[in-house]
Amino acid sequence: MKILGISGHYHDSAAALVIDGVPVAGVQEERLSRRKNDPNFPLAAIEWCLDQAGLEPDELDAVIFYERPTLKFDRILTGLLQNYPRSWRSYPKAMKNMLGEKLWVRGLIASQLGISTRKVQCIEHHQSHAAAAFLTAPVSEAAILTTDGVGEWATLTVGRGVKCIDGSAEINLLRELRFPHSLGLFYSAVTSYLGFEVNEGEYKVMGLAAYGLPTWMEEMRRLLRPTADGAFQLDLKYFDFLGGAESGYSQPFIDLFGPPRRSWEPIDLASDDGRRFADIAASAQRMLEDILVGIAVELRRETGLTSLCLGGGVALNGVANARVLAEAGFDRLFVPPAPGDAGCALGAALYANAILFGQPHRPMPDHPFWGPEPDSAALLRIALEDGQPATEDNEAELIEQVADALADDQIVGWVDGALEFGPRALGHRSILAAPHDAAMRDRLNRDIKYREEFRPFAPVVAVEHADRFFDLPPGGARLARFMSGVFRVRPEWAERLAAVTHVDGTARVQVVDREMAPRLHTLLEAYGRRTGIPVLLNTSFNLAGEPIVNSVAEAYSTFRRCGIDLLVAGNVRVTKPRIAQPTLLENVA
Amino acid sequence: MGAPSIHEDLPGCPSVESAGAKGPLQVLTGILLRPLHHFIWANPSRRARKLLQFGEVEASGGRDLVRAAELTADPVLRARFLRHARDEARHAAMFRARGRTLRSTLTEGESGPALSEWFAPGERGIDGFDVARESDADLLAFLHLSESAAARDFARYANVLHRDAATRTLFQRVLRDEDQHMRYTRDELVRVAPERTRRILWWARMRRLWKAYLRFATALAGLIAGVVLTLQYFLLLPPFAWLAKRAARREQPGWVSIIEGKGR
């Protein structure tokens, strides 16, 4: 069967195509439209997926949307009514928003693709998350936990999944927590309070947390209270999800924690306010972890299963994931490369294939590379047209030259194979650099990423050497495959991995094996031969406010606009004359 | 053109013509709008907010130009667009820095009231123009007109900022770049479409007008819908709100059981 999965209309739209139970294409709309977290209907992503498979829309057997708009509308309307009359400002906006397009998504998809509405179906948001987490994981039976801000009504679900030998598959979600009691919305409210953008700044809260102490736990417990059945509930006095406040928190929240940070003011960790914000971040992070671990422990006890599949946007929190792995009793924790809403496009298609249509489950390729391939010949042409020094080498020679450049403290833009599906650069659209000195971290922040000093950079290490440098628990390498866990850097290496070691001695490490990313693996080995440390700094190939690059033209324009020294795509290498850089940087600054 | 210069009290700024004031109509508009500009720019809170908005528009315009550079097959245009994008990024940084500086001087009360999201024609950057779907010539024409409108508006703002020398200087610096952008977009348009330059420019003007109409119509429709929905909210919803609140009170916190699917 040919099944197209679509997610969209909230943030980070995407499309994914599954043929006979196996993904053949998947891409986020932002990577094609070049608008970060593009929430629009993912027409470009759909077109690309169909082109990739050589399909016309009418050849599709089904198109699956990742959530049920009518249920979502029900939740929004009910929430507005429950907040009457405080919701009077939100009501017209919400109605215009939903009634304009979002409620009629089946008709929209049918008309955009020119197919019958009978082919278009919707499944529930957390079913999509569960399928994205379980059906892509190399495991036959596992407990499932999905958690995010909110889908239709559910904000958190637990259940179990089974892939049987006869090819059948089951996903049984047992119970759920419902809006407004949401871990994701709790964390988003804190994100907003700390002056960061919701759905974008949650990483920053996690990074900032490492600088603080959880001294606000008493206050956090007022916000989030346990229920008698082992779940939790938010005290809604402190939140305002539908009453008109765009921030998500209310005046009592401010009374409890003090004035919020204004987004335009930098965080000065030496100041009282800066320390207060860091402590609040640390407390919120601890609270989130405690709740997640508690639910996971209960799920382990209830199911008796040794593997857990974790999905939903909260699964992007690598610190919490590592604690769940360490404390919940599961041997293995699987987090897909795209656990958020974009990944729901793939999850919806897989769910339809295995559950709705009962097609046999097939083993899934264990990688995130479902997007467009780069055209290295185009890079060579563009660079030569612009008079940039560019050469095409054989692969072995190129890897050695890149390793030399990295050892010489050059920053490398690395484009290799199909684009990653998900928010993280996992070695196909990465900026690579030497991980040894804090000066490199500062240089990346200053010349390329322009981001807050408290945000760490991630390392990538070959799987054979991971334990030497990082304190990985059993199951840690699996969690680190898609950069989904934060683990301690071994103390004896922390100083020599200063650019990737966070203030608390941890790192969000990616562990790469040769099968998943052969060229990156070879490069790590070559770099290790030069420096004795086969570890590189790996950050996403993009500039602040832009999506990760997709094509070589985007990689090239990024290379031209920032302090990257060397650009590599396929076997093509473009170097930047070092003398030109001061002028360029002056222009960008 | 013979019209009085809107830059006459701005030493070092581009000429009237190059700042986009091409006819008596624009000059008259400038004179008529001057009190409005005085009103907007006199208030530090509004000024800060406006500058921060400009920062976002310039940054967005810069990203569109980067996209144009990535898509064009013309190496000359690629270099021009990248340079232009760097200028926009620099302007964005300047606007943001000045906006933040102004904001930091405000007290809590001053920073509260929000300004409408409405933008003047010159404040819209390249105005949602989809660079991926347009030819180089159409893009150049659109850029030329956008830069022209921006130069005209920025010159007007600079003229009412007598008490804020730093912001005024900022506009003057940006204006110099806008002038240069207007010139290169016009020159390149002549190079890539020598026979059709005028026609393309007129077509671009018509499209800008059409976009303005669409914006107006959308805003009007939104306003009407907002009024109707607000009336509906207060007139029809109270009984349903009462029922919803009563139902909410009966809900038990914690887990809700669900039954799930099975395949094959």
Considering the domain architecture, whether residues A493 and A536 belong to the same structural domain is answered as yes
Q: What is the DSSP code (8-state) at residue A140?
A: S
Look at residue A154 and tell me if it is in a domain. Answer: no
Residues of B numbered 140-179 whose beta carbons fall under 8 angstroms of chain A's beta carbons: which are they?
A: none
Report the distance separating Cα B14 and Cα A460, nearest Å: 52
Tell whether A171 is covered by a domain.
no
| Minimal CA separation from A72 to chain B, in Å | 16
Residue A258, in any domain of the structure? yes
Judged by a CB distance cut-off of 8 A, whether residue B130 touches chain A is no
Same domain, A282 and A348: no
Instruction: Say yes or no: A251 and A346 in one domain.
Output: no
Q: Does B100 touch chain A (CB under 8 A)?
A: yes
Cβ atoms B150, B178 nearer than 8 A = yes
Q: Is B106 on the interface with A (CB under 8 A)?
A: no
Looking at the complex, does the CB of residue A218 fall below 8 Å from at least one CB of chain B?
no
Q: A173 lies in a domain?
A: no
Helix (H), strand (E) at residue A147: strand A141-147
Contact A91 B233 (CB under 8 A): yes
Shared domain check, A539 and A422 = yes
The percent of chain A in helix, strand and coil, each rounded to the nearest 5, is 45, 20, 35
HEC letters along A382-429: HHHHCCCCEEECCHHHHHHHHHHHHHCCCCEEEECCCCECCCCCCCCE
- pTM of the complete model beyond 0.95: no
| Least confident piece of the model among A492-506, B5-19, B170-184 | B5-19
On whether residue A516 sits in a domain, the answer given is: yes
Q: Any CB–CB contact under 8 A between A263 and chain B?
A: no
B238 reaches A (C-beta below 8 A): yes
| B28 band by pLDDT with thresholds 50, 70 and 90 | confident
CA distance B227 to chain A (A): 8
**Residue whose C-alpha is closest to residue A326's, from A184, A187, A464, A472:** A472
- The partner residues of A22 in beta bridges, in order of sequence, read A19
Could you give the CA distance from residue A389 to residue A572 in angstroms, rounded to a whole number? 11
Give yes or no: residues A74 and A221 share one domain.
no
State residue B65's pLDDT score: 94
The domains of chain B are located at 24-194
Q: Count the neighbouring beta carbons within 10 Å of the beta carbon of residue B9.
A: 10
Say if the Cβ atoms of A96 and B254 lie within 8 Å.
no
Packing angle of the helix pair B165-192, B136-159 (nearest 10 deg) = 160
Residues 94-153 of chain A with CB under 8 A from chain B are: 95-96, 127
Q: Are B207 and B134 in contact (CB under 8 A)?
A: no
Residues 6+ apart with CB under 8 A from B101: B166
Quickly list DSSP for A320-355. Answer: HHHHHHHHS--SEEE--S--STTHHHHHHHHHIIII
Residue given tokens 């914006």 in the structure block: B215
Contacts of A355 by beta carbon, 8 Å cutoff, 6+ apart? A127, A131, A169, A170, A171, B261, B262, B263
Residue A150 placed within a domain:
no
Q: How far apart are CA A573 and CA A392, in angstroms?
A: 6
Domain containing A289 — which CATH number? 3.30.420
- Residues of chain B positioned with their CB less than 8 A from the CB of A351: 261
Burial class (CB in 10 A: 0-12, 13-18, 19+), B61: buried
**Size of chain B, expressed as the number of residues it contains:** 264
Q: Which of 3.30.540.10, 3.30.70.20, 3.40.50.300, 1.20.1260.10 is the CATH number of B24-194? A: 1.20.1260.10
User: Which of the four pLDDT bands, split at 50, 70 and 90, describes residue B39?
Assistant: confident
A124: closest chain B residue by CA: B260
Phi, psi (degrees; rounded to nearest 5) at A549: -65, 150
Say yes or no: A460 and A519 in one domain.
Answer: yes
pLDDT tens digits for chain A (589 residues)? 999 999 999 889 999 999 999 999 999 999 999 999 999 999 999 999 999 999 999 999 999 999 999 999 999 999 999 999 989 999 999 999 898 889 999 999 999 999 999 999 999 999 999 999 999 999 999 999 999 999 999 999 999 999 999 999 999 999 999 999 999 999 999 999 999 999 889 999 999 999 999 999 999 999 999 999 999 999 999 998 865 556 789 999 999 999 999 887 889 999 999 999 999 999 999 999 999 999 999 999 999 999 999 999 999 999 999 999 999 999 999 999 999 999 999 999 999 999 999 999 898 999 999 999 999 999 999 999 999 999 999 999 999 999 999 999 999 999 999 999 999 999 999 999 999 999 999 999 888 888 888 888 999 999 999 999 999 999 999 999 999 999 999 999 999 999 999 999 999 999 999 999 999 999 999 999 999 999 999 999 999 889 999 999 999 999 999 999 999 999 999 999 865 444 443 333 2
Residues A526 and A452 in one domain: yes
Chain A residue closest in CA terms to B133: A33
Buried b (16+ CB within 10 A) or exposed e, A533-558: bbbbbbbbbbbeebbbbbbbbbbbbb
A573 and A508 housed in the same domain: yes
Judging contacts by C-beta atoms under 8 Å, the chain B residues touching residue A358 are 263-264
**B234 lies within 8 A of chain A by CB:** yes
Closest to A319 measured CA to CA, from A477, A503, A188, A488: A488
Q: What is the pLDDT of residue A217?
A: 98
Distance CA A356, CA A348 (A): 10
Give the whole-angstrom CA distance, residue A163 versus residue A171: 9
Q: Check residue B127 and give its pLDDT.
A: 63
Catalytic annotation, residues of A: 11
Residue A505 located in a structural domain: yes
Could you tell me if B97 lies within 8 Å of chain A, comparing CB atoms?
no
Q: Does B78 touch chain A (CB under 8 A)?
A: yes
Residue B259 binned pLDDT confidence (cut-offs 50, 70, 90): low
Yes or no, beta carbons of B262 and A359 under 8 Å apart: no
By the 10 Å C-beta count (0-12 exposed, 13-18 middle, 19+ buried), A95 is classed as buried
Candidates A18, A84, A584, partner chain B, best to mutate (most B CBs within 10 A): A84
Judge if A463 and A532 occupy the same domain. yes
pLDDT number for residue B114: 46
For the stretch B92-143, pLDDT in tens is 999 999 998 988 887 655 544 444 555 665 565 566 678 888 899 999 999 9
Name the residue range of residue A75's domain: 2-66+68-122+341-356
Per-residue HEC secondary structure of A505-543 comes to CEECCEEECCCCCHHHHHHHHHHHHHHCCCEEEEEECCC
Q: Which residues contact A556 (CB under 8 A, 6 or more apart)?
A: A379, A382, A383, A567, A574, B70
Cα–Cα dist B144/B126, whole Å: 10
- The verdict on a CB contact (< 8 Å) between B78 and A385 is yes
* Inside any domain, residue A557: yes
φ, ψ of residue A77 to 5 degrees: the values are -65, -45
Which of A96, A127, A264 lies nearest to residue B225, judging by beta carbons?
A96
Distance of CA A567 to the CA centre of its chain: 24
Per-residue tokens: A344: 């729901």
Position B123 scores a pLDDT of 61
Our CA-based measurement puts residue A203 at a distance from the nearest CA of chain B, in whole angstroms, of: 22
Distance CA A208, CA A216 (A): 15
Alpha-carbon torsion, ordered B89, A192, A341, A244, to 10 deg: -110
Residues A346, A327 share a domain:
no
CB nearest to A82's CB, from B67, B71, B245: B245
User: Å from B206 to nearest chain A CA?
Assistant: 26
Identify the pLDDT of residue A265. 82
What's the confidence (pLDDT) of residue A243? 58
CATH code at position A81: 3.30.420.40
A577 three-state secondary structure: coil
Using the Cβ of A302 and the Cβ atoms of chain B, whether some distance falls under 8 Å is answered with: no
Residues B154, A398: Cα–Cα separation, whole Å: 50
How many angstroms separate the CA of residue B25 from the nearest CA in chain A?
36
Same domain, A465 and A409: yes
SS3 B89: helix
CB contact under 8 A, B241 and A84: yes
Which residues between 42 and 61 in chain B have a beta carbon less than 8 angstroms from any beta carbon of chain A? 52, 59
Which phi and psi (to 5°) does residue A78 adopt? -60, -40
pLDDT given for residue B15 in this prediction = 42
**A277 in the same domain as A196:** yes
Residue of B nearest to A162 (CA): B262
Among the listed residues B90, B99, B83, the one whose alpha carbon sits nearest the alpha carbon of residue B143? B83
- B209 Cα to chain A: minimum distance (Å): 25
The residue among A324, A356, A388 that closes a domain is A356
Number of domains in chain A: 3
